[in-house]
Amino acid sequence: MSEILELEDITKTFGGIIALDGFEGSVAADDITGLIGPNGAGKTTLFNVITGALDPDSGTVRFQGEDVTRERAHKICRKGIARTFQTPKPIRSLTVEKNLRVAHRFGGSDSTLDEEELYQRTLEFFDLGKKQNVRTENLQLIEQKQVDVARALMSAPTLLLLDEIMAGLTPTEKIDMCETIKQLNSEFDIAVLLIEHDLKRMRSISDTIIAMNNGRHLLTGSPTEVLEDDGLQEAYIGK
Ligand code: ATP
């Protein structure tokens, strides 16, 4: 099993707050990997460090064997790491089509697929054809989240980071989103690293789960190994 992403001894502080404290972990190229941990564990900060939104104080981010630590965000995106945010971030005043094309210019211009090919493939995948001329501020939450993932796909990523993509969705929408993520992983060969608080969904979708707490790696394993571990229960209860 090859690792697409390796994180070595990552530390990030904000003033006196230690958000990441020597975090170690890796993501397999073929997998859907879940990242879990109590509120404030450092999950989103880790995403920010991986994607170049934040520089770590120390440590190394290796993507496909290459050291990408402190690379600028658009360069990391062009190398193949795309992301979504906790709150959907399409440009609200732009149409679905403009959002997707802008995303391609930010992160996809090094892709072997051209813009038109990616646009048509992405539109079809999400069945967004009828909405392409609608401004995203007029879309429902689930559609805004689909546009967020669609924007990420416009850079033809090999690793997709999803930050609480299912938050706020109905149970049925969550099941649909899980199916979408599985399809992206199997049909488009995209490795996925996702943050999710709904552990039931996490168990059903993940090949591997990484648990973290207090900015540190806690354990990695199959969903059953991790979710039934006593150390994890303690981290959540706060013993
Ligand atoms: P949640 O599940 O609640 O989203 P999380 O695991 O994603 O939490 P982070 O958002 O990464 O955790 O936060 C880790 C710690 O770093 C928290 O104590 C948080 O308050 C702090 N933190 C994160 N970003 C900043 C910032 N820009 N400035 C100051 N402190 C920050």
d(CA 122, ligand 1 centre) in Å: 32
Residues 6+ apart with CB under 8 A from 191: 4, 5, 27, 28, 29, 30, 31, 32, 33, 158, 159, 160, 185
Ligand 1: does its nearest atom lie under 6 Å from the Cβ of 41?
A: yes
pLDDT tens digit string along 35-69? 999 999 999 999 999 999 999 999 999 999 999 99
Helix extents (H) in the chain: 43-50, 73-79, 96-107, 115-126, 141-153, 171-187, 199-205, 223-227, 230-237
Ligand 1: does its nearest atom lie under 6 Å from the Cβ of 45?
A: yes
The Cα–Cα gap between 73 and 92 comes to 21
What does the DSSP 8-state code read for residue 222? -
User: Are residues 157 and 81 in contact, defined by beta-carbon separation less than 8 angstroms?
Assistant: yes
pLDDT-based confidence at 122, cuts 50/70/90?
A: very high
- Nearest ligand 1 atom to the CA of 164 is 4
Backbone φ and ψ of 146, nearest 5°: -65, -40
d(CA 166, ligand 1 centre) in Å: 19
Name the nearest CA neighbour of 214 among 44, 59, 40, 45.
40
Ligand 1: does its nearest atom lie under 6 Å from the Cβ of 87?
A: no
Ligand 1: does its nearest atom lie under 6 Å from the Cβ of 37?
A: yes
pLDDT tens digit string along 157-207? 999 999 999 999 999 999 999 999 999 999 999 999 999 999 999 999 999
Higher pLDDT, 115 or 66: 66
How many CB atoms sit inside 10 A of residue 96's CB? 27
User: Are residues 87 and 162 in contact, defined by beta-carbon separation less than 8 angstroms?
Assistant: no
Judge if pTM exceeds 0.85: yes
Backbone φ and ψ of 37, nearest 5°: 165, 155
- Nearest ligand 1 atom to the CA of 42 is 11
